[in-house]
Amino acid sequence: MPPGGPYTLVLQGKKTIVFKDVLFGEVWVASEQSNMTYALGGATGAAEEIPKANYDEIRSFTVPKKIAVTPQEETGPAAWEICSPDTAKRFSAVAYFFARDLHRALGVPVGIVLSAWPGTAGEEWTDPESLRREPVLQPLVERSDASAEIALEFDDFELLFAPGDARGAYAPSDNVSELTARVKPRACDALPENPFRI
């Protein structure tokens, strides 16, 4: 299928599902820490850029912040949004300008998936078993294992377990002291240095 759209996508089986306003083009993931989450509304030049942010062929998707101790099949509630002044001002400035420039350069639709969380390290985004297979990354694995057993910080997210896990899900309203009491701290006066930290 050539880049462009909007198309209508029809899936037929025991029932028929119809997706309207479907675009084909580039899809990129924007992921990092606080710099990536900084909204266009607060960026330099926002007053000039936001009114011009009408791009029907740029779509953004923001992955909700949720802690999960096992891989998840789906994100929390979220949806693709068409780039408009209203949606752009709330979206990542870096991701917006990247999508805008890529769209202008290639002339094709661009989708941006924003999955960023301020203060997180790269190893927190990586499958632990993949890290364990690399000898050079063992200090990161040890550091991650130690810090996971010391503390869990809660903000506006919930702790998710695998579907059917007897531990269920803890929402911010639950008794956090009860949860932290289940975490067994381990002495770690000398955590290994992160070899990738500058």
Q: What is the pLDDT along the chain (198 residues), one digit of tens a residue?
A: 889 999 999 999 999 999 999 999 999 999 988 899 999 999 999 999 999 999 999 999 999 988 877 778 898 899 999 999 999 999 999 999 999 999 999 999 999 999 999 888 777 788 778 888 989 988 888 887 776 654 444 444 444 444 554 444 434 434 444 433 333 333 434 444 544 444
What's the burial of 136, exposed, middle or buried (CB within 10 Å: 0-12/13-18/19+)?
exposed
pLDDT at 148: 60
- Calculated CA dihedral for residues 85, 89, 93, 96, nearest 10 degrees: -30
pLDDT of residue 178: 41
Identify the bridge partners of residue 49 per DSSP, sorted by sequence position. Answer: none
- pLDDT at 171 (0 to 100): 40
Alpha helices by DSSP H, listed for 91-175, are: 93-106, 128-132, 138-150
Rounded Cα distance between 196 and 198, Å, is 6
User: What is d(CA 68, CA 45) in angstroms, rounded to the nearest whole number?
Assistant: 37
Cα–Cα distance, 48 to 91 (Å, whole number)? 16
> Which tokens go with 87?
């949606």
pTM score over 0.75: no
**Calpha distance 122→79 (Å, rounded):** 25
d(CA 113, CA 63): 7
What pLDDT does 67 receive?
Answer: 81
159-160 vs 16-24, strand pairing mode: unpaired
And the tokens for 88? 């752009």
